[in-house]
Amino acid sequence: MPDPTIEILDPGALTTVQDLGRPGHAHLGVPRSGALDEPALRLANRLVGNEESAAVLETTLTGVSFRATQAGRLAVTGAACTIRVAQRSVAWGAAVPVPAGAVVEVGAAALGLRSYVALAGGVAVVPVLGSRSTDLLSGLGPPPLRTGDVLPLGAPGPAPSAAEVVRRTPERVLRLDLGPRADWFTEEALDLLDGGVYTVGAASNRIGLRLAGPVLARRRDAELATEPMVLGAVQVPPNGQPVVFLHDHPTTGGYPVIGVVRSVDLAVCAQARPGDHLTLRVLDG
């Protein structure tokens, strides 16, 4: 019997292969990459009996459709959406069977932005630097999916013995710790940052979440030497509008970082749509 595969029929606006990324290579100039909503990826994999680190499909806004060559099972988490298997509606947030030859249609996001499609066995494209993730900035990993692409799947493991209850309440708050360059900003800017309400910009992507709202004015006008950047860094360019660095962010930058979003809130960034309002909160200690 041939190895299981899926054939992409419609990749939607942007569908990529993602796992937990390739951390630990920033000193080589290699971004972390990986699923923007990591808890959703881990959950989807658990639902179908995969290791949490298995590669899945990350969709953006408009979903994806594909054909499965062999029988298997899948689960969709992250952004809520409709799912059809062989023209029959199936549940979101649960493991469902997929007959051989069936067409799977993952619909547009109804709540949130990115959905995660886990298939039993995981997407088994060739890893690069230990990860199967697509990196839009560096070009590492498989390119964004196109119609006609055929992706191999790994050998499925046993189905989980216990069900999980999936509840996702969308948050609208980003908690951050100040620094390392908070001293480059005025006291008024720091006051505006804590509790400031910002609108997600249309130019946001896997590299960064662009925010529009209260202007964060500097107290220092000097140029900042290029320095390392971390996941969740809130960089402030000269226009005073913050940008939250996400998983495909560059490893260095030249604008001051006023704070860093805590990792537990990065899933909020992953599911924020253009036009959504987010509140920033500065944490003490």
DSSP run (H or E) holding 18: strand 15-18
Task: Write the DSSP string, 157-190.
Answer: -PPPSS------PPP-EEEEEE-SSGGGB-HHHH
Which residue, among 108, 122, 11, 6, has the nearest Cα to 64 in the 3D structure? Answer: 11
Separation between Cα atoms, residue 199 and residue 192, nearest integer Å: 14
CB burial string 142-164: b at 16+ within 10 A, e below: beebeeebebbbbebeeeeeeee
Q: Give 284's contacts (C-beta < 8 A, 6+ positions apart).
A: none
pLDDT for the residue numbered 167: 64
Question: Residue 60: helix, strand or coil by DSSP?
Answer: coil
pLDDT for the residue numbered 143: 97
pLDDT for the residue numbered 27: 85
Tell which CATH classification among 3.40.640.10, 2.40.100.10, 4.10.410.60, 3.40.50.300 matches the domain 173-282.
Answer: 2.40.100.10
pLDDT for the residue numbered 165: 64
Separation between Cα atoms, residue 278 and residue 80, nearest integer Å: 19
Structure tokens at 276: 């959504």
Largest CA distance in the chain: 67
Mark the ranges of the chain whose per-residue pLDDT is less than 50. Answer: none
Give Cα 195 to chain centroid, integer Å.
Answer: 25
Structure confidence by residue, pLDDT tens digits, 132-155: 999 999 899 999 999 999 999 999
pLDDT for the residue numbered 178: 97
Separation between Cα atoms, residue 246 and residue 264, nearest integer Å: 13
Alpha helices in the chain (DSSP H): 38-48, 187-193, 266-271
- List the chain domain ranges: 5-152, 173-282
Contact 139, 152 (CB under 8 A): no
The pTM for the full model equals: 0.95
pLDDT for the residue numbered 2: 74
Question: Residue 31: helix, strand or coil by DSSP?
Answer: coil
